[in-house]
Chains A and B, each alone.
Chain A
Amino acid sequence: MTEIRNYTMNFGPQHPAAHGVLRVVMEMDGEVIERVDPHIGLLHRATEKLAETKPFSQSIGYMDRLDYMSMMCNEHAYVRAIEKLLDIEAPERAQYIRVMFDEITRILNHLLWLGTHGLDVGAMTVFLYTFREREDLMDCYEAVSGTRMHATYYRPGGVYRDLPDSMPKYEPSKWHNDKETARRNESRQGSLLDFIEAFTDRFPACVDDYETLLTDNRIWKQRLVDIGIVTAERAKQRGFTGPMLRGSGVAWDLRKKQPYAVYDRMDFDIPIGTTGDSYDRYLVRVEEMRQSNRIIRQCIDWLRKNNGSVMLENYKVVPPDRETMKRDMESLIHHFKLFTEGYCVPEGETYSAVEAPKGEFGIYMISDGANKPYRVKIRAPGFTHLSALDEMTRGHMLADMVAIIGTMDVVFGEIDR
């Protein structure tokens, strides 16, 4: 009789289903996974060490590059850590703008997750739809910060600038004639808030479209139902947060339980799953997009009615505007000091966490009273989720591995840091 033995297989590091650079060494018994050993760190850039060598404000841009699918949420955690140590609080309008953009970011992230998860599992169409909506949201990013992804929009003491009064418009080209261009510019006639409002009007119907394609789709259900089950007890032991924990039926959301910014004034619900399988996590994330849409609408209402400053006027931390800088000697000195040396943050330590789209994203910051952080530790949700890959895939088929990586919503920017 021929001897049957397990064999070891290498997955990645360059594989479209690995969502980045993940190498997994798998021990297979036929097509069944016996054990997996994920090798991470191929995207390690030592962000935490770099942050130790730079003044506080200069690392905000690095935060965008951690979880590069939920940029502003990462900034939010970092900026809040600095604000807590400095004992300052951003103005109310800035808080509302932050909440609005956090939720825009959540939709951005979930849309990308939904599209790529669909691709992994074999559904091409959803990807094309979700990226259409992502384009609009990235235009919002661009309108406030100048860049589509890596915004550096949140600053200690507020946000970089107020929402713009107009949106950039498309121009006719040889691919888009005048009539078509006019149609594309329809929602861009007013301010950014009008544009976002128009988006929130049509977005629920878009989510319905995705659900029509997936929720009751037989193939989708065959690939996801009862795949990668995590019980509530085990999810807690494994340090899960965010949709991974809620999918297992634990109603835990930092926006409700430990509200930051102005989330305590928002009206929204937390969806939770029942069985803790991949399909539940899919349903949870889809519902979260609808809830985010609700929060954005509430922010728009408030922002329309209330004006005010979006940045503190504490020139020991916040740079003065260029106009005053050119008139006023003291502002010039402040500006010079802030951009050569930065500001010193009082000695102390803090942990600030936000509910990022993937889970709890936290910054543990130690300051020894200097102009640079002494230690920044980034608590990335994907790191703990991926560490459970071994136990979630055991006994599943090789093809389910891809579905499980997809359902974890991992991004290597934050896992490898």
Chain B
Amino acid sequence: MANSEQLAERVKACCGDSITSLTIAHGEVTIEVDPADVVAVLTELRDDTQTRFEELIDLCGVDYTTYGIESSAEDELQSMGPPHLAVVYHLLSLTHNHRLRVRVLLDPEHPLLASIVDVWPCADWFEREAFDLYGMIFQGHPDLRRLLTDYGFIGHPFRKDFPISGHVEMRYDDERKRVVYEPVSIPPRVLVPKVIRTEGYGD
């Protein structure tokens, strides 16, 4: 397994101009790139003989809106504005036996980026899932439908402003002889508040 410094050097040599930040933590290398460069950078990482990332292991969305904010402050988030979305790719090279994480922070106003279905075909369902759960648009995806949520579902459930109990609940109505959707009757509640303790708290 190549060590992380070596990998970082190789990645820099491969597409150094497009990388906006590079961090090494827990022996894992993370790079950040601009949404406009995604396809070029990932294709380069796949084809360069020094990096050779044959497999896209994972692709997921992240909503960074409440990052580092405790529960007590979350009430003020009603006015938090558009979500700060990101897409994270995990790449794996079988040839060199190393992994790389690529993060793309999206513009909150226009969460758009290019699809990488042409780079790795398995991105198809991953992108559909990320679109379904977070609502970013993958331009050029051949079939960007919802994947995991119900037919006719409204909203993007993994965004931080989406309540854990959802907006609608479903039941069978005996009089109308069909399934009906109604606003959720359970008030949202937090069982364990989110707290952030920094190192050395309570000393």
Contact = CB atoms under 8 A, between A and B. Distances in A.
Interface of A: 40-41, 44, 46, 48-50, 53-55, 58, 84-85, 236-239, 241, 250, 252, 257-258, 340-342, 344, 346-351, 353, 360, 362, 364, 366, 368-372, 374-375, 377, 379, 383-384, 386-388, 416-417
B57 interface: yes
Given A348-B26, A384-B122, A374 B147 contact: no
A237 B54 CA distance: 7
Nearest to B128: A387
Contacts of B197: 344, 369, 371
Given A44-B149, A237-B122, A349-B25, A374 B67 contact: yes
Contacts of B97: 257-258
A369 B196 contact: yes
A258 B126 CA distance: 24
Contacts, number: 119
B34 interface: no
Closest 7 CB pairs of A and B: A239-B122, A41-B148, A387-B125, A377-B60, A344-B197, A379-B58, A236-B54
A89 B174 CA distance: 56
> Which applies to chain B's interface (DSSP): helix, strand, loop or mixed?
loop
Interface in B133-174: 146-150, 157-158, 164
A342 B192 contact: yes
Contact of B57 (A40, A55, A379, A386): A379
A146 to B, nearest CB: 24
A6 to B, nearest CB: 19
Interface string B117-133: 00011101110000000
B194 interface: yes
Given A84-B26, A258-B97, A370 B194 contact: yes
A54 B196 CA distance: 14
Contacts of A371: 192, 194-197
Contacts of B67: 368, 374
B68 A366 contact: no
Given A349-B25, A384-B125, A370 B195 contact: yes
Interface string B16-60: 000000000110101000000000000000000000001111101
A372 B26 contact: no
Given A50-B164, A369-B68, A238 B122 contact: yes
B113 interface: no
A360 B191 CA distance: 33
B99 to A, nearest CB: 7
B70 A370 contact: yes
B190 interface: yes
B36 to A, nearest CB: 24
Nearest to A380: B58
19 contacts: A41-B149, A49-B157, A49-B164, A50-B164, A238-B121, A239-B55, A344-B196, A349-B25, A350-B26, A351-B58, A362-B58, A362-B90, A364-B60, A368-B68, A370-B194, A379-B90, A384-B125, A387-B125, A416-B148
A332 B198 CA distance: 22
Contacts of B198: 369
B58 A364 contact: yes
Contact of B28 (A49, A351, A368): A351
B26 A388 contact: no
B203 interface: no
Contact of B99 (A241, A351, A384): A351
A387 B117 CA distance: 12
The residue among A252, A340, A377, A417 with the most chain B CB atoms within 10 A of its own CB is A377
Nearest to A234: B121
Interface in B50-98: 54-58, 60, 62-63, 67-68, 70, 88, 90, 94, 97
Contacts of A366: 62
B109 interface: no
Contacts of A50: 164
A383 B125 contact: yes
Given A348-B25, A350-B28, A375-B63, 10 more contacts: A84-B26, A236-B94, A239-B122, A353-B57, A370-B195, A371-B192, A371-B196, A377-B60, A379-B58, A384-B126
Given A49-B164, A340-B192, A370-B70, A239 B120 contact: yes
Contacts of A350: 25-26, 28
A368 B69 CA distance: 9
B101 A351 contact: yes
Contacts of A384: 122, 125-126
